[in-house]
Amino acid sequence: MKMLVFLALLGLHSAAAVIHSLKYFYTGSSQVPNFPEYMDVGMVDEVQISYCDSNTKRNEPKADWMNKVTADDPQYWEDMTQTCLDSQLTFKNNIETAKQRFNQTGDVHIYQQMYGCEWDDETGVVNGFNQYGYDGEDFIVLDLKTETWIAPKQQAVITKHKWDHKKAFKSQTKNYLTQECPDWLKKYVNYGKSSLMRTERPTLSLLQKTPSSPVSCHATGFYPHRATMFWRKDGEELHEDVEHREILPNHDGSFQMSVDLKLSSVKPEDWRKYECVFQLSGVKDDIITKLDKAVIRTNEGKTGIRSDGGSSEFPVGVVIGVVVVLLLLVAAIIGYVLWKKNKDKDGFKPANTSDTFSSSSSSSSSSSSS
């Protein structure tokens, strides 16, 4: 599955044009205890802007600046709510269809859709995407360049043939992803520019669970998410014995990330040659912290005092914060998390055969969700 990739994961260490994104995550579920049968989440530049589920039956703004949309479109939230209700029925039917095709009965099942667009505010280039998943794996994905659908699973081939031959549906989908979606994205960015275009530098810490564990360079409180962080030795970026972790959201709308360095490859006399470098889009100066035992915060409790005079104990609050953020993220977009977790397992595998999935959720969302 071709997911959008943060600039940070591309390893771009210099300031670049801002690529804005608008994404919608739709999730239908079956027999998941204490969880809505349907939910949808809207996000602009990885910031949540809307939420609706089968319990609330209302689509509501999740960013204050999204209330400005009604000045241009008084019926906006009513239309969004109707899309949510319509998609709920479609996703429920599609789960039942999928269960039949996979010869399944009860148990927990999840059907997902992620669609939207990205826009380069410097070049004006836009890109759209629309993809579906079932039970944590790719099901069917749109190739916008060829205007055809890719079916990684044999059970989706019928859907592929059906949608490939729906000329009106393809035309509508392409128009939404390449025209309407970018237009709405530009409006949203304008509404929230004071928040979305702000710059906040992070706090950097060196963390270590035990003396034999990797040292984690942890940055938190930065914005935007277009950032990268890496370890280097003698001015050269390291690629071996280094593990980059995902950028995660904080509860206040800022972000956090970590990059680990295995100490087994570091000679004691070479510690002073290593440093962690954080780079934020739009900020010229790098934020650098040297590999220094005196400033490493651990959970051993007796590993010395940081150079700033603070305790060197591992910040439990950071760990709890990460866990809480992850739980909230999973609660909001559980389908996306499962999909992403499994996306590298199978990849795309051409298949052959057929089916009758409804595309109404895609077409309705593409024409009225935004």
Helix (H, G, I), strand (E, B) or coil at 81: helix
Chosen CATH of 203-323 out of 1.10.287.3510, 3.40.50.2300, 2.60.40.10, 3.30.479.30? 2.60.40.10
Residues 288, 259 contacting (CB under 8 angstroms): no
Domain ranges of the chain: 18-195+333-368, 203-323
Helix (H) or strand (E) holding 120: strand 109-120
Task: For the beta carbon of residue 145, count every other beta carbon within 10 angstroms.
Answer: 7
Judging by beta carbons within 10 Å of its beta carbon (0-12, 13-18, 19+), is residue 23 exposed, middle or buried?
buried
74 token code pair: 């008084």
185 token code pair: 């994205």
With cut-offs at 50, 70 and 90, classify the pLDDT of residue 357: low
CA distances in angstroms from 274 to 12, 61, 203, 250, 266, listed in the order given: 20, 45, 19, 28, 9
Q: Which of 282, 179, 151 is nearest to 227 (CA)?
A: 282
Q: What is the pLDDT of residues 218-274, one digit of tens each?
A: 999 999 988 999 999 999 999 999 999 999 988 888 999 999 999 988 888 999 999
Using CA atoms of 7, 8, 13, 19 in order, give the dihedral in degrees to the nearest 10: 20
DSSP characters for 134-182? ETTEEEEEEETTTTEEE-SSGGGHHHHHHHHT-HHHHHHHHHIIIIIHH
So what CATH class is 18-195+333-368? alpha beta
Same fold across 18-195+333-368 and 203-323: no
Q: How far apart are CA 315 and CA 137, in angstroms?
A: 36
Q: How far apart are CA 258 and CA 52, in angstroms?
A: 32
pTM for this prediction? 0.73
Q: What is the pLDDT of residues 161-220, one digit of tens each?
A: 999 999 999 999 999 999 999 999 999 999 999 999 899 999 999 999 988 899 999 999
Q: What is the pLDDT of residues 290-345, one digit of tens each?
A: 999 999 998 764 433 333 334 445 444 444 344 444 444 444 445 444 554 454 44
